[in-house]
Chain A
Amino acid sequence: MLTPDDISKLLASIALHDRTAFDTLYQHTSAKLFGVVLRLLKDRAEAEDALQDIYVKVWQRADQYAVSRASAMSWLIAIARNHAIDRLRTRRAIYEELDEAKFIADDTPDPEALAQASGERTRIEICMQRLEDRLANAVRGAYLDGYSYQELANQHAVPLNTMRTWLRRSLMKLRKCLEE
């Protein structure tokens, strides 16, 4: 398992186009990023395509990591999520029609998550608990499954503007709670 510091160092080498570093990074991070795109896209073939695109972006943008303050792993996940969301919105996913059988490993928690669950709860979980259940679920649905405002509004059977107000308010509450 690579430490966050190891991943930062690999990114610095990748910025100088070090292929060995790139291979090592792929070896240690691709399962997590594949999990991200699979969960968001819910289509194996498209997730495989997306994973390739994401690592091409990592190769091209590694030099930008130096100026980013995020941890190296969350920086990688942000690239993966943004790419998957671009694809999701482009194909205007109709999630209701998805065959449940395609949901590979959708709710299997990460080993890291299990470790956290057994120990200290993370700050964001504590803050999420302070939100109404339906709002916390909407936040999770957006972040982990890539649902748009419109899709969440449909799921919760509320008007689009109501969902927008709910989520904006939830985000501000989360921010306040996280900064406490």
Chain B
Amino acid sequence: MSKGANPSEEEDATLAAEYVLGVLELKEHAACTLRVQRDPKFAERVADWEMRMADLNSGFAQVPAPDAVKTALDRRMFPTPEKNQQVSIWDRLGFWRFVSGAAIAAFAVLAFVIVQTPRTFPPGDTLVASLAGVGGKQKFIAIYETGAGIVRVSLLSDSAPADRDFELWLIKGENAPVSLGVFGGGDGPPRSLHQALKTEFTDGVTLAVSLEPKGGSTTGSPTGPVIAAGTAKKI
């Protein structure tokens, strides 16, 4: 291909620069915003110009935003306010309910189970992990009651393909993943952890879900792609 001979390439290069500079009118600017989402080559041109111009960003002063903005933002994004330890688990799940419409339904069931049965468990903490794929396609929620030593996992998206299963893994630091059970879709069966695993399942551990042959990995380690991951948090 001859060098610099393609006029549409040159036009694109100019358009990307004009877009980043911010001089385009409404329609053109909006069209470019859409194109960045859909056209990787154009997105790359835009990213190049953003890098070139980035030093001009020091021309923007820092101006503390009023506290009311964050309060309004929280109300808008996370409808249930975060309160202190006294509130019910249902209230503390406010954030997780935000995850998706499907999550609300799934949580209604899960939270009901948790709230209805606390007396049968020895006292302990509840750890929750929201597991999401990079593309956000597959979503899972895992809940672990430390007192009872029971972990439950719930699928908030499509079931596994007919010939496959999901397998939930616990990964602590640099340790090898440990299987927490296999499930195909919907809610996985509650699983009691061995004593040794209980000490491993703590605040901040990583949970991951891989796609495995029916019945789960035969090697004791994930063999299929990891389709979702997240961190367990005490609630």
Interface residues of A (CB under 8 A from B): 13, 15-20, 26, 30-32, 34-36, 38-39, 48, 51-52, 55-56, 59, 63, 66, 68-71, 73-75, 77-78, 81-82, 85-86, 89-90, 92, 104-113, 116, 122-125, 139-140, 142-144, 146-150, 152, 167-168, 171-172, 174-175, 178
Contacts and interface: CB of A to CB of B under 8 A. Distances in A.
A142 B22 contact: yes
B65 A48 contact: yes
Contacts of A38: 63
Contacts of A75: 50
Nearest to B14: A168
Contacts of A171: 14, 17-18, 21
14 contacts: A31-B62, A35-B62, A36-B57, A51-B65, A56-B73, A70-B50, A71-B51, A89-B25, A89-B26, A142-B21, A144-B60, A168-B14, A172-B17, A175-B17
A17 B61 contact: no
A116 to B, nearest CB: 6
B11 to A, nearest CB: 11
A167 B21 contact: yes
A74 B76 contact: no
A59 to B, nearest CB: 7
B231 interface: yes
Contacts of B47: 68-70
Given A52-B72, A89-B29, A110-B62, A74 B77 contact: no
B229 A148 contact: no
B61 A108 contact: yes
Given A17-B130, A52-B72, 18 more contacts: A15-B132, A19-B95, A35-B60, A35-B61, A48-B66, A59-B77, A69-B47, A70-B51, A71-B51, A74-B57, A85-B29, A89-B24, A116-B58, A143-B56, A144-B56, A150-B25, A168-B14, A171-B18
B21 A139 contact: yes
A125 B55 contact: yes
